[in-house]
Structure 1
Amino acid sequence: MEAGKRTIRDIFNRGRNLEIPFFQRAYVWDADQWQRFLEDMIMVSTTKRPYFLGSVILKQQETSSNKDSILTVIDGQQRLTTLNIFLKVLCLKNNADYDFTETFKKQRDKSIILLHNHNDKESFDKVVNLETSIVFNDVSENDNILLCYNFFNENIIVDDSETTLDFFNILDNILFVGIDLSYEEDEQQIFDTINSLGVRLTTAELLKNYFFKRDEIESYDKYWKQIFEKNEEVKTYWDREITTGRLKRTFIDLFFYSYLQIKIQDPNLKVKTDDKIDFSRVEHLFESFKRFIKDYKLDKTEMLEEIKSYAILFKNNFNFDIIDNELTSESGIERINAIIFGLETSTLIPYTLYVLKNVSDKNQQNELFSFLESYIMRRMVVKATTKNYNQLFTDRLISNNILSRSEFVQYLEKRNDMVNYLPNDTELKHGFENSILINKQTAGIIYLIESKIRNRHKQATSLLGISKYSLEHLMPKKWENKWSSVSTKEAKDYRNYKLKTLGNLAIITQSLNASIRDSNWPTKKKGSGNNEGLRHYSGGIETLAPYLELSDWNEIEIEKRAEFLLNKAKEIWM
């Protein structure tokens, strides 16, 4: 990496091209920015003082020895584009287009140095190749290149002594903070260390630029635009950001990570174990793709075909909105979605996508998803570790080609370890009676049971999405003020313990007012004054409603309800 002060002539070296990559979006500056730019150029031209226009990051691309050098514009697209258009207009108005050509076009063939991508290429080339000053009529409101030209064409005045604009004064005094990267260097790392830029390139943006050259428009349209950028609905889907662990990641990045984890398990590629470990790191996903393709000599077009088919499956099946909608009782991808997004278990995505791609029989698929639900939920109830989930669902199950319920069961039985084990009914009973879980897990366990046992034909109210329910302690943590007392310290400790377990926890449609939450059992059920109680917010919830008929709620009833939930769980999660 080389960094330092750069002049316009330094950046627009006439023996090379500057290329706007695919991941850069269209030119977006508007009239406010053009007006400020014009005022700044008048000031520079008048004072002849050095003026820093901002930063420009350029990255060297691999080219053959018989071709001109190409540098990718990683940062600076808006400034360099505006500068070209502004000075083009100035030169045309001064009948000095030769000066523009000798600065912004290549020496060898007089072609433009700054190569725009598919978003703006047609309009930009139209402007910089003008031979006389004209006005573009009927310009689209989205064509900021032509709008920019028209703005400067209207507002640059060359015969006004108060607004002097001299081409060479500007050329000699405009400066940039320039950073030049070699081909091997990681542009993302540069962005991360230059906080003032306020830019974060996603893996998808970097991959788009890596997969497609400027002239590969047909390939880009087929394998990328139609899949990831077809319209606003599609772009909104892929740009959705969710929390995964400590990170926020977009759907499109989740997809590319999942695809890579599937691809590196291909037995024909014989990916080394060390590489698999390296390629599973979320933080360096783009670099992993590049090295994987290079080291294992993969054909990009074949990979793009595969990415396309996986991406279509991903979009058709992974639905974050399921957390806001009624959940079906039928086993399948919808319930897996509720577990992935409602319970933040995104580690399931690679294996789930692998199953969707390789199991065409819906019955077999749903049987496997049913067991996957049982496996995750049983382990959640007993507080089994999740630390090995990433390896299990991104490596082991895929590399062993586990594509049916029976194969999954056999795989777990053969391993006979205490890391990936499936809890039995005895362990499940202990979990319902004793596990103290975080609220999201507890609500998820009860909700998934509720969604299976609910009689939808008899209920007047529909089951809401998992995100619409609050978790409530039936016996409150602050029970000592308004609930019956206990005679010994042991009994008090036991009560304080039991009230945190699953038998005492319920989902309701809205959190209770604080004054009701800690009230005695009759008031908590009915409510008081303007504050509604459990009955109002139970909404026919079958894991709660029957217990609201009880005149008393205590440790014995907590244990009975835990047993009720256990029995339902054993029926559901077999």
Structure 2
Amino acid sequence: MNEFIYPIAHIFSSANLLQELNATQYYIASYQRGYKWKSFGKNDQVPILLTDIYEAFSTNANEYYLQYITVKKNAENADFLEVIDGQQRLTTLSLLFYVAEKHHSIENCAKGKVVYQRYKTNNEFQDIFEHILSLNKSDSSLDNQQDIYYLYHAKECIKEFFSILGEELKPYITYLLNHVKIIVNLEDELTSAEEVFSNLNDNKVDLTNYYLIKGLLFTQSTRSPQSSHSFLEIQAKRNRLARNWDHLNQWFLNEKHNQLFFYNYKILNEKEKNIGINSILNLTKPKKSEKIDEPRIRNFIEKIENNKDHQSKEIKTSVNEMELFNLYLDHLKTSEKAENKLEELQNVAKRMMNWYADDELYHLIGYYVATKNSIEILTNKGKSDLKKVLYKHLYDSLQLGKDRAISSLEYGPDNAILNRIFLALNAFPLVYVNGEATINFKNHFSFYDFTKNNWSIEHIYPQNPNVSVADVIKYKNWFLEKTSDETLKNEIESVTIDEKKVPDTIQQLIMLEDVSEHYIGNLALLEKGNNSTLSNNIFPKKRELLLTMLAKGNFVPQHTINAVSKNLHWIEEDNENYHFTPNLTNWQLQDMQANASWIEKTYNLLMELIKQKL
């Protein structure tokens, strides 16, 4: 695959790209899907294309890049340059020039340049754009041809936008032709177009921001006008940059490294995830200039959104998957700026690598990010200041509120604070060292597992347990221990697998009594998938399932393991009366009180230790 950069004027001019490749027209084969760009709201692709280019035009940006198009010479007709990827973009740009010609007498550089196999009849290609211009909203083809429907509304959207530009339209078109650019991928002629199309749509081809920004930074930073370095010296410098870049990229490609810092960061676009060096590029991206907010543009958006001729929902997508690259391109105008940005990228990445290696910071940052906070405001802080900020966040996030006691917290209304408390109890375990309580940071809590999955508060014993006939048979001794009534014991003994349901008398025997299931002593933290597996099972079954999960390598928080195993111990010698009952397969009020006591004591001491760090 070879890459070339062309302004829009050269994309359509017969004297440029088409001539260079001995072609006369772009060809859209029938294996391509029909036109599907929407035009009905501010987040739809056609309005975004128009307004984003207008923003670049209004700020006089020297260059503005759209996404790639991928082409190859057509095997059957040498005059055709077959478009494998990017036909939606190329179609919209073509339609734009047709509208400009018909309604504003602006020269149409796209006229006859794009043909579609699906619109070929009797060996003649229909000019689909002229056809779209001739349609009105009552035409029946809008109802039964999806691509015609979308093309018609794209035409109407473009026409409306052009009408509000007034005298700015011609300069806007001139800017579009000369400063808006597309990167063209030229595929080998021997490769089948269908195969390339399939690979692109299966995300088997690396695209856009990562490689483009890397090339931009490496080129700009080694192209100082004051430099007298030889070609070999420049190449050696670029090789050093590449080695360092690849080292950082590999470190952040490790999901456990990346997840600790970037759990809350959205993906860059559909094809580029926020992992590897992409996460650092996204974190340190230059600030975007303020969006043009002219009354005309607002009116344009409002008008198309109020159009009653369609019934389309907005889609949260962007036509320009190269927005990140354009931000860097606009910012890195000089060699000095490129060198400074490279240094910033490397410093931020290495600082985060050092934080990860610091056991204390690992846990503090992990908690900070896991509780829905962005790492962005932390990147310029030294370790001392960083720890103060993180400890303050930890302390503030665990505050119960005025006149609240931890024993009063309940499942449901207090879930937000309960989740934070249980996370902190697991992530910041307490130990005694030389007679003093301290937080044990040595064993890394798995924030990767915690943030990768959805976690929730689990009831150790349900208020209304589900029990099957098979459960009564398997856990018969557990049921027998729950009653001294001989009649009921005989009923338990006589249950067989052939029975359709558990007798109500046995079902009533296992109902939770004396305390609400939402009591904090009956709660623990568990991943939602595991929580669903445990469901409303009776305690011995739930305990067995949980231990099986552990044996299979599932991540289960330590407090949950210890509570269900009745292995929670206060770190000091304690004289409290709350202790677990000795029967490991039972979970009674005394066990809940013991768990609640441990939670309250540990929470209070942890808050004291955190407060000392402020």
- TM bucket normalised to smaller: 0.3 to 0.5
TM-score (norm 1): 0.43
TM-score by length of 2: 0.41
